[in-house]
Structure 1
Amino acid sequence: MGDESAQRASRWVFEGVTYATRREMCAARRGRYVEYLNAGMNFTQAARAVGVSKRTGKAWRNGRTRATGRNEKPLVDWYRSTVDKPKKISTRYLSQDERMSIADWRHAGMGVREIARRLARPASTVSRELSRNTNPATGMYEPYRAQQMSADRLKRPKPVKVRTVPGLLDYIHNGLRAHWSPEQIAGRLRTDFPDNDAMHVCAETIYQAIYVQAKGELKKDVSKALRSGRAARRPRSSTDERKPRFRDPMVMISERPAQVEDRAVPGHWEGDLICGTANRSAIGTLVERSTRFTILLHLPDGHDAEHVQQAIIRKMRSLPKLLRNSLTWDQGSELALHQRVSTALDMQVYFCDPHSPWQRGTNENTNGLLRQYFPKGTDLSEYPEQYLDTVAAELNDRPRKTLGFQKPSEKILELINAA
């Protein structure tokens, strides 16, 4: 056991440092990737430097939309490297050559509109360029200085206004200590400094300054200062409604017909997964509500959405239509492709509310019975499908008190014969 632990620990090595878990090693690798980007490397160079593919780096930056239908967020925060002269500038901006032409024509006494006509630019563009980038010390328009100033404006991250204007940050802090809201602080700044535009900021600027620095111990100070008591920003889009978990809209259990509850109509199923060690393996379980008939899904290649939906369709396709009315599942990502299941089996799929396992009580009870055959902490991928079918058959041949000591196999045969 000691040798195995040492070998496992030695696997998570990055740049000569050994990490206790793969998660920690990947976090260090992503952190180094961001450092390389900020140092000026392009995406391909940074990815190669940390030993991943360019595609993986893109997924880190932008998140990914998996084929399973589950959307994932970006894993790194990054910004374009600050450089004196960006390699590529959009054609909507003036180029170095255009600025040199403006300087030459302006020196020759040419007007703004004539310069704009020659450049095929709006007159407002030339006028704004001259007003923004003319050297106040000489009163002259200097093209190389103007180009440098333009490049500096493109740098990221830009300095925060509340930190560059002397006295502004202290004023905001004093206002928060007095339990003023950011909106009150912003309004009072205009009253106290009517002739100093540099001291005028909007409430949103103050909120951004507060939440950006709210890390570690500062979170406590922020939660005390703001009336909301939150040290993390809550997006407005998610205040009143829950974001959809999957691309295909879910039909919630609240919309399930009332006839499902009394178990009078057969063909309504509940489903879930029982997982093995570290959730690396799983077995799917399907239980019919009225008869307690159980079907086990063999998932040797993984329990992602693609494999789960294939196993459900393969096992249930042979059932008569009488026994394919609905399927109720929790909101696990393994059923992100529920629309395929619904279409292939002509069977409505319903989803339980979050953290509400009692809404699939029959399935939860069956999963407890199955742990006698599949103990926790074991690798479930080692069990062949024949063994799973044998276990399901044994459960279905077990008399149930709730069925008047009839067997699930007997009850389901009665239904099929009656149909």
Structure 2
Amino acid sequence: MGRHPNWMVTQTGRPAMRSPGRPPIRREVGRAFWLKVAEGLSSEEAGIAVGVSQAVGSRWFREGGGMPPFSLAPSSGRYLSFAEREEISLLWAKGHGPRGIARIIGRSPSTVSRELRRNAATRGGKLDYRASVAQWKAELVARRPKTAKLVENERLHDYVQQRLSGEVCRRDGTPVGPAAIPWTGRNKPYRRDRRWATAWSPEQISHRLKIDFPDDESMRISHEAIYQSLFIQGRGALKRELVTCLRTGRALREPRVRSRNKPQGHVTADVVLSERPAEAADRAIPGHWEGDLIIGTGRSAIGTLVERSSRSTLLVHLPRLEGWSENPSVKNGPSLGGYGAIAMNAALTASMTMLPEQLRRTLTWDRGKELSGHALFTLETGTKVYFADPHSPWQRPTNENTNGLLRQYFPKGTDLSRWPAEDLEAVALALNNRPRKALDWRTPAEVFEEQLRSLQQHGVASTG
């Protein structure tokens, strides 16, 4: 005599479940992993923090496209947790009945009875309650698979895809751009052509739908839903390779906190922009400078210094060091590209010490590591260094504007190390002799000369 074909359905009160194989990681572990990522940890560090290997953490992050595939909100407590299921399993093995278990864990007897029946393991031919299997079954049944809107609505799908990845064409409709480039699954190619696309951002697409289809509510989608369709595998709406049409070209979404928490140990509380003297902001007193690098190919660079009051420009020569392109690079070794911390300090010090002491009060820089030795620079020059806030180029407006002017002479994608110091001085001279509207059509050189004469007169008067 064999069992009735539907004996398990009769016993558990639930339709037969086809086993998908090994039970997946518990939802609470996955939630803890993504919360660690949201705090700024790398995928490998987050994996170790929740008790899995670095490879598993990296795989979870990659499969999720850098986005958590489920809500990170804490459980409401309405449903049994894994800890409660472990308690039920132990008490059931000790011979406690459903009512006794319910009293101990603080749940309804019907909840415990239903749990023991519906989520029991049945592979051994009888009902055997185990916490891990019960948790797996509960999470499997709790899923609410929802078809993506871009899958259901073909018209909406075509609209989004066309605005995101459509071809760039001439007025006569002829497509233009580089030849088709295969997508490798990685971020945008380095120093290679990228596919030319119409490249509307998901936010632009989302808001434009309301203008193009004001009376059709079915033609609505949020920008976040478009991002999820691109980054999260298994959504089935948009192909993953369309991430190349995003302006960043990233294959994985970068968590916001991680992008903000990049190491910047050289920026301490006493050198942030809010600590800079108020006199530097109004441009009334000379001697306050803004600085940055303009970068070329092959790790070449030129340092730029601009005085806020006169707009006078100094260009800092940063030659490559001995051994560049000859010796293999050494991890954590000295930077031979010309703008490592040591080389940068030496070049900046040589440029600033040519100025009178009264004209080198402060220097405002971005957060680049090239000025991580700012304390030594301040000691040698007397110029106090302050760092702008992250991603805030408008806090160094004079320098940013000057860097734009300098690109006329030093275009992006060119080798900047080939220009000797004499050529840089000639370019700075040309820039400093252009009349400026902000200076009532005087030149930076003229204003700077006035500042020098004023300092000399005050110096003579003070010594008399």
TM-score range (shorter-chain normalised) is 0.3 to 0.5
Higher helix content, 1 or 2: 1
Query: What's the TM-score, normalizing by structure 2?
Result: 0.42
